[in-house]
Structure 1
Amino acid sequence: MSFTVLRRSLVSSSLRSTRLIAPAPLLLRRSVASSVSNRPASQAFDHAATNIKEETGNLAADVAKTIAGSNMTTQLASSLKEDTFVGLTKANLAAVPKPAMIVGLAGGIPYIGASGMTVYLAHQAGLVATGASTMDPGLALTYFDQALTFQVAYGAVMLSFLGAMHWGMEFAGLGGKQGLKRLALGASPILLAIPTLSFEPMTALTVQWLGFTALWYADARATSFGWTPKWYGQYRFYLSILVGTCILGSLFGTSYYGPVAGHGFLTHELNEIRQERRDLIKEQELPANENVKAVRQKAGEPGFVVLSRKQTEEKQ
């Protein structure tokens, strides 16, 4: 009897062990998720190109949604033929009222002109500094400085105006009364813009570029919160791109074309003074002396006249 019980217990334990061990091969087989596992994501170059194109399109569409403040209406989203960057951008731009777009772009025209004039006058100042232009150095520097000053002043006005837009929306109750939060957002740009009027022009342009970029981000967030019209984030993005491009163009153009170390206005003026002295010396005859010999130096050599003793030369 005891033998029979012992045999049954051994068989039972053996079956339990078999149940624990048997599923192991099944688990190994299930680790293969599909028939194409452990293969490259793209089977051929054409397939890879298609994947890259699709991923790029999806990324561009996400960028367009971010630009729009991720605040597209259901009606606008349903009217899209393609969920692409171009389709989303066109749909958002179509939602912007034409008067707002026209006036906004017209307000940027003087800034574009100021940026172009700054680069042109920087080029002229660089030519004067190297002696390639006959313009008076003082006049070239004055014109260049006035162009930079105008661009900085106009940029400060635009930055302040964009902040004041939020005060108008608060007074109109657009998106509900937000109180101190929206009023503080509207006052921040002018607190940044006014001090730049006392900065050196290149520093002022850099600070204003940072201000325009930060304000666009704040406007995009305000659009997503419902504080502004649905199209405001998209509208502000392209105006910020316009202004930011002008600022970067002025900074790079001035650095590239403007006077640089070793070819500044002081170096140019010193070279002109030296040349005038040489011209005056050429017009005068050197004094004759029995013991001293005077020899004019050639252009580019240090000094103007070399004096030497005749007796020393004769002995040598």
Structure 2
Amino acid sequence: MPLARVPRPALVFGVCGLLPFIAGSLAVWLLPPGWRDYALFIQAAYGATILSFMGAVHWGLALAGTAAGGDSHRAMSWNRLGWGVLPALLGLAALMMTAVPGLILLILSYFGLLMGDAAAVRKGQAPAWYLDLRRPLTAAVILCLGLSLIRVLL
């Protein structure tokens, strides 16, 4: 079972990080219109925050590579550090949009970040267990954001 390889603290904190996404989707579906809009904004803001955090993981991995005596020029490449900044910019852009395009951008960004994380694992820039954690968490995030998007479109 792939999740068995994930360190317990990473798994627990990762799953706990889903709670605001789940609560946001429930709120968007169950609350009256005025509150629904507020819940949607909170969910999108949390989504943008976590997207930014997930991008910053790549900076952390690059920094850890240089601290361990690795090649700082290879670890601190434009591509690798740019991949760490792009999610934050996409999250900000999503918050500046109206609900439908903003949610679509967040969904696409989470999917794209997962693809980037998979590439980092293949290149040995992230531990193999990281992808075992990211796949189900990203699927859950995309599901929650997608459910909110469906509600907005109704």
Q: CA deviation at 1:253?
A: 2.8
Correspondence for 1:156: 48
Q: CA deviation at 1:255?
A: 2.6
- Cα deviation code 1:169-225 (max 9, x no counterpart): 111117944212221111110111112111111221111000000000010011000
Matches within 5 A, 1:51-130: 90=1, 92-121=2-31
Q: CA deviation at 1:234?
A: 1.7
The alignment status of 1:185 with 2:77, answered yes or no, reads: no
Correspondence for 1:234: 132
Q: CA deviation at 1:94?
A: 1.1
- Cα deviation code 1:220-250 (max 9, x no counterpart): 0110000001211121111100100001111
| Structure of greater Rg | 1
State the one-letter code of the partner of 2:76.
G
More helix by share: 2
In 1: Cα distance, 2:153 partner to 2:81 partner? 38
User: 2:18 is paired with a residue of what secondary structure?
Assistant: helix
Q: CA deviation at 1:254?
A: 3.0
State the one-letter code of the partner of 1:179.
M
User: 1:226 is paired with a residue of what secondary structure?
Assistant: coil
Aligned-CA RMSD value: 1.6
- Cα deviation code 1:2-52 (max 9, x no counterpart): xxxxxxxxxxxxxxxxxxxxxxxxxxxxxxxxxxxxxxxxxxxxxxxxxxx
In 2: Cα distance, 1:148 partner to 1:94 partner? 34
Correspondence for 2:93: 195
Which TM-score applies when normalising by structure 1?
Answer: 0.45
Between the aligned residues of both structures, percent identity stands at 36
- Cα deviation code 1:242-272 (max 9, x no counterpart): 100001111123333xxxxxxxxxxxxxxxx
State the one-letter code of the partner of 1:169.
L
The alignment status of 1:141 with 2:38, answered yes or no, reads: no
Equivalent residue pairs, number: 148
Which TM-score applies when normalising by structure 2?
Answer: 0.90
8 A Cα contact 2:99 2:152, kept in partner: no
Matches within 5 A, 1:235-254: 235-254=133-152
